[in-house]
Structure 1
Amino acid sequence: MSAVAGIDAATAAPARLIAADEPPPYSIKNANGTSPFLLTCDHAGRRLPRALGNLGLDGRELERHIAWDIGAAEVTSHLAARLDAFAIAQTYSRLVVDCNRPLASPTLIATRSERTDIPGNANLTDAQRRQRVDEVFRPYHARIEAELDARRAAGRRTILVTVHSFTPAYLDVSRPWQAGILYHHDTRLAHALLHLIRAEGEWVVGDNEPYSVSDTSDYAIPVYGTQRGLANVELEIRQDLIADADGQAAWGERVAAWLLRAGADAGLI
């Protein structure tokens, strides 16, 4: 048996994936935020654990959307400050394990993304897959669950907002939207946002576009929104609009204002 990153070749037992001197799988902003909003950013980071090398990819590939949601982490930070909201962001690339996928999803650990093969994700053993789930996916979600449990025990209202970004084109097909409002079964906040943004007349906003939420393709909204009965929405912002600090600050301020107004319009705050 040949050695594989993160695996002891003699025993096939997983070594530690995240070394002691590497960052934890999530970071927290505004841990003591007092507002009802709770923000998650599942694809915030593009870091790879050293044990995985570069997954067989050219470094330029790791700067693309296949590795992370460009600009989403910074927008989330602006929202946390503007809304006085608790925010949690994933540290490691979605190519290690996608924290917005059910564990049974075939894209939990992608072997191909868009037109790019991911060599380091091919032919993983069950032990290697389990290691990524145990060291990245589970700690991130355990922290979210702990926060939600504490808020419920304290009788605090929670509005779940997940923050993502999307590419201006996908597989050579242009996307006309500047932002997208995604939802599952609970439409209260989503519909209020859609009505508000469209009434302003400045932005092309997608209604469950460029993606839609489902039990088989998503984790955060079905598990934390639907199953817990929380008001929720998934926000998508086009990446070219938030690729630099000015855009991130502007969209953070804009989206915060939308959330506050739409939350009030929907009777949630």
Structure 2
Amino acid sequence: MNASLLLPADPHPVSLIGPPLASGPLVFLGDHAGSLIPSSLGTLGVGEEDRRRHIALDIGVGSLGRLLAQHFGAPFVSQVYSRLVIDCNRDPADPTAMPPVTDGTMVAGNRDLSATDRADRVAGIHEPYHAAIADLLDQRIAAGLPSIVVALHSFTPMLTATGKARPWQAGVLYGGPGDDYGRRVLAQLQRVPDLTAGDNEPYAFGGTDYTVPRHCFARGLEWLELEVRQDLLADDAGVAAVAEWLAPVLQRAITG
């Protein structure tokens, strides 16, 4: 761990559950699954209520990832620290990676960061997470195992800036090399009764996405970036209900 950022009592930034060399192809990721803040940074000047909001983590993704990993006997790699500290689905040089303001909330601990401050967060949190993903995928390639990366995210039921409701229960982001699996998942979701699937909604895959391009493109891997609406993941019962309709979709899409 980076000594200038993470103290001995602070958790390691990466959580890995499930067998890395599982025979099935799915590898689940949770870029924004965690909400911890290193003790050296206090609260970043953010109140407790805001630290439980979507600005701090992808609500429900940690629980969903664990449940899906258990269902498939698959690995789930997730970040334990909050996206307020550093967003692991952004290039560290991107201004939004350590935002001083997010969705109207001031993040005082991110104001006027020095180059050393930023480098400490990259070295202590961002890079260990991506190194763990790279190591897992490379181990699987060396073992001759196929891998399909499933990056799990969640989104707010309403767009704060406009007050516009988001009707999709889940959205599939695609638009790059290896997105065939994501397109198959979208087609499967569109067949699920009483479910509205977002086609590159509520976000479109693009230049700000970091994890999938870094790990999937050069390795020639198929991938899925999946968004699930956060109100569906608000408690254990909701997470279980989502997993019940999502798991069969993910399975069917493996073979087309």
TM-score when normalising by structure 1: 0.90
Aligned to 1:22: 10
Partner of residue 197 from structure 1, selected from 164, 169, 189: 189
Q: Aligned partners of 2:218, 2:59: CA distance in 1, in Å? A: 29
Partner of residue 49 from structure 1, selected from 31, 35, 38: 38
Unaligned runs of 5+ in 1: 1-13
Q: Aligned partners of 2:28, 2:187: CA distance in 1, in Å? A: 22
Aligned to 2:63: 74
Q: Which amino acid aligns with 1:202?
A: D
Partner of residue 240 from structure 1, selected from 213, 231, 244: 231
Which moves more between the two structures, 181-190 or 137-146? Answer: 181-190
SS at structure 2 position matched to 1:70? coil
SS at structure 2 position matched to 1:262? helix
Deviations 1:165-191 (A, max 9, x none): 000012222111110011131331122
Q: Aligned partners of 1:184, 1:102: CA distance in 2, in Å? A: 18
Aligned to 2:212: 221
Q: Aligned partners of 1:218, 1:248: CA distance in 2, in Å? A: 25
Q: CA RMSD in A?
A: 1.3
Q: Aligned partners of 2:166, 2:67: CA distance in 1, in Å? A: 25
Aligned to 1:146: 135
Which moves more between the two structures, 122-131 or 175-184? Answer: 175-184
| Cα contact 1:161–1:235 (8 A) shared by 2 | yes
SS at structure 1 position matched to 2:77? strand
Partner of residue 251 from structure 1, selected from 227, 242, 249: 242
CA positional deviation for 1:146: 0.6
Deviations 1:225-257 (A, max 9, x none): 222210001111000001100111121232211
Q: Which amino acid aligns with 2:69?
A: A
Aligned residues: 251
Q: Aligned partners of 1:125, 1:104: CA distance in 2, in Å? A: 13
CA positional deviation for 1:103: 2.3
Q: Aligned partners of 2:159, 2:102: CA distance in 1, in Å? A: 11
Which moves more between the two structures, 188-197 or 237-246? Answer: 188-197
Unaligned runs of 5+ in 2: none
Q: Aligned partners of 1:34, 1:16: CA distance in 2, in Å? A: 39
Structure whose alpha-carbon radius of gyration is higher = 1
